Amino acid sequence: QVQLVTSGGGSVQAGGSLRLSCAASGYTYSRICVGWFRQAPGKEREGVAGIGPGAGGSTYYADSVEGRFTISRDNYKNTVSLQMNSLKPEDTGMYHCAADPICARGLWYSMMKADFSYWGQGTQVTVSS
């Protein structure tokens, strides 16, 4: 079974940066599909960013974060990171990483449907004005 450990959350002022990490055990990131999701109180869960299997992997970004967030993988460390720059108060929420062996229906589908087999415990991100 794949286990995901999420870290890197915290509190930051608007315009600041945070880097979230999702470390996996029990599977190889080179062929695993990984997504980041967030949910704020009173709001629906939103797919933030994702990366597909393969050498570099295709990527997905929500319109609200594109240009500010970057997802990347380190296969040697079995870690997927989410670099978050120019943070806004609306980015506040609980961030979860999720993984699937391959995202058989495609990364976009998996992100839209939150169709992942494994989920991490989440880390809180709070952005203040």
More confident position, 57 or 111: 111
What pLDDT is stored for residue 7 in this prediction?
96
What pLDDT is stored for residue 57 in this prediction?
78
86-98 average pLDDT score = 98
Burial 35-60 (b: 16+ CB within 10 A, else e): bbbbeeeeeeebbbbbbbbeeebeeb
Question: Has residue 32 got a pLDDT over 90?
Answer: no
Instruction: Tell me the CA end-to-end span of the chain in Å, nearest whole number.
Output: 40
Question: Has residue 1 got a pLDDT over 80?
Answer: no
Q: How far apart are CA 45 and CA 14, in angstroms?
A: 21
Question: Has residue 55 got a pLDDT over 70?
Answer: no
- Partners of 31 in beta bridges: none
